[in-house]
Amino acid sequence: MLDIQKIRADFPILSEKVNGKPLVYFDNGATSQKPQIVIDAIATYYQEINANIHRGVHTLSQLATDAYEISRVKIQHHINAKFSHEVLFTSGTTHGINLVTNGFASILKPGDEVVVSSLEHHSNIVPWQMLCEKTGATLKVIPMNENGELIMEAFDALLSEKTKVVTVNHISNALGIINPIKYIIEKAHAVGAAVLIDGAQAVPHLKPDVQDLDCDFYAFSGHKMCGPTGTGILYGKEEWLNKLPPYQGGGEMIKEVTFEKTTYADLPHKFEAGTPNIAGGIVLGTAVDYLNNIGFENIQKQEEALLEHATKRLLEIEGLKIYGTGKNKASVVSFNIDGIHPYDIGSIIDKLGIAVRTGHHCAQPIMNFFCIPGTIRASFSFYNTIEEIDVMVEAVKKAKTMLS
């Protein structure tokens, strides 16, 4: 088992007080906290090797370039991509998804179909809607059941030769449900569709193997996995990245520019126009190392224990309902209490030092399905403790009494 107190000591913010109370940070789904090693690595980059990359012959530029490319290879191995040029640095999941939808604008035709799921974050709905508006393609939605699970029979029925893209999240941010993506990818490929997986909520909890999954694209954010904000990765299969046009034009993504014609750089640079978040990209590698040193098996064991305890303790509260009761779940509990607005609970427990997210979690279709304005979402990380969950449960009970 992990020595949680030792791990907590890696995260300076976890010993802060908020509103005079010890911080209980249960908003890991929004962004994770950062270990000292990640915070230090940002300063070290700027203190020791700050320079623009891929441009200069001078020593600092080469050091920075090497560090950036070493990080890319580290992430390639982490997700088991076949080539490092299939790993594109982005500013986050949203950027990665938009890069792909922009590319598909020159591929889709009227009558084509894009399949999304009813469990998606707005980042994996709106760009596809915009794409469909632009191309005349039609958006189809995989429905969900009362447990928050996607209905696979309905998915099967949606697929046809018209389906050109299927996209789902690996783990739902609002409910924590883990989707059967291997099945979805296999079925989508059987009709010739490309598959994008939104891995934003998966990468803090597990190590995706993109070759085993056989997905065509896998997008995620660095800031949810102990890395800096403004960092992310889009994995794309080489053949797809070669097929898609560049997303942004500018420096670094070209081979040759004349006023008559521009030719584009090879992968991955074709999709990395302009000066990137160099420090961020390098330090994302540091975060990946940190998580691998802890070990994803250990992370999962701790998070399973947290989920089980939180579910059991919260259900002791009369009138409390948990949304997302499917079997395969990550360490997220989304709940409401009868007759009380989630925002009111969230505000009261914040005064007690507890950070949870309240609202629609950028997943309004899920809230519409359950006919609710939003939920209270407690999302746990490996550095959280059973004791912290008990503190939250007592705080929720107190808030309930105050608001009833």
Tokens linked to 161 = 């030769």
Q: What 3-state class would DSSP assign to 343?
A: helix
| 226 carries an active-site annotation | no
Among 117, 135, 167, 173, indicate the residue that binds ligand C6P (CB under 6 A).
173
Report the distance separating Cα 53 and Cα 65, nearest Å.
5
Residue 150 or 200 having the CB closest to ligand C6P: 200
Catalytic residue among 132, 215, 226, 362: 362
Residue 54 or 357 having the CB closest to ligand C6P: 357
DSSP β-ladder status, 138-142 and 21-22: unpaired
Q: Does 135 bind ligand C6P (CB under 6 A)?
A: no
Omega before residue 268 within 30° of 0, cis: yes
CA separation, residue 148 to residues 142, 325, 328, 365, 387 (Å)? 12, 7, 10, 12, 28
Q: Which stretch binds ligand C6P (CB under 6 A): 5-13, 16-24, 45-53, 198-206?
A: 198-206
Q: Which stretch binds ligand C6P (CB under 6 A): 89-97, 104-112, 129-137, 264-272?
A: 89-97
CA angle in degrees (0–180, nearest 5) for 308-365-26: 35
Q: Does 117 bind ligand C6P (CB under 6 A)?
A: no
Report the distance separating Cα 404 and Cα 150, nearest Å.
35
Asked whether the beta carbons of 107 and 164 are under 8 A apart, the reply is: yes
Q: Which stretch binds ligand C6P (CB under 6 A): 34-42, 69-77, 118-126, 330-338?
A: 118-126
Residue 49 or 215 having the CB closest to ligand C6P: 215
Report the distance separating Cα 231 and Cα 96, nearest Å.
10
Q: Does 76 bind ligand C6P (CB under 6 A)?
A: no
Residue 49 or 87 having the CB closest to ligand C6P: 87
**Torsion sign, CA atoms 342, 348, 349, 351:** positive
Torsion angle of the four alpha carbons 264, 269, 274, 277, in this order, in degrees rounded to the nearest 10:
170
Tokens linked to 71 = 């990080």
Q: Does 362 bind ligand C6P (CB under 6 A)?
A: yes
Q: Which stretch binds ligand C6P (CB under 6 A): 42-50, 91-99, 158-166, 382-390?
A: 91-99
CB atoms closer than 10 angstroms to residue 7: 18
Residue 54 or 360 having the CB closest to ligand C6P: 360
For the CB of residue 232, give the shortest distance to ligand C6P in the complex, in Å.
Answer: 6
For the CB of residue 263, give the shortest distance to ligand C6P in the complex, in Å.
Answer: 31
Contacts of 189 (CB under 8 A, 6+ apart): 195, 214
Q: Can you name the residues that pair with 171 across neighbouring β-strands? A: 178
Asked whether the beta carbons of 72 and 233 are under 8 A apart, the reply is: no
CA angle in degrees (0–180, nearest 5) for 229-28-360: 95
x/- track of binding to ligand C6P for residues 23-52 (CB under 6 A): ------xx----------------------
Among 101, 163, 201, 286, indicate the residue that binds ligand C6P (CB under 6 A).
201
Q: Does 277 bind ligand C6P (CB under 6 A)?
A: no
For the CB of residue 144, give the shortest distance to ligand C6P in the complex, in Å.
Answer: 15
Asked whether the beta carbons of 109 and 135 are under 8 A apart, the reply is: yes
Q: Does 385 bind ligand C6P (CB under 6 A)?
A: no
Q: What's the gap between Cα 354 and its chain centre? A: 23
x/- track of binding to ligand C6P for residues 305-344 (CB under 6 A): ----------------------------------------
Among 33, 65, 117, 169, indicate the residue that binds ligand C6P (CB under 6 A).
169
Torsion angle of the four alpha carbons 34, 38, 39, 42, in this order, in degrees rounded to the nearest 10:
-140
For the CB of residue 315, give the shortest distance to ligand C6P in the complex, in Å.
Answer: 23
Active centre residues (catalytic): 362
Site residues (CB under 6 A) for ligand C6P? 29-30, 92-94, 121, 123-124, 169, 173, 198, 200-201, 221, 357, 361-362
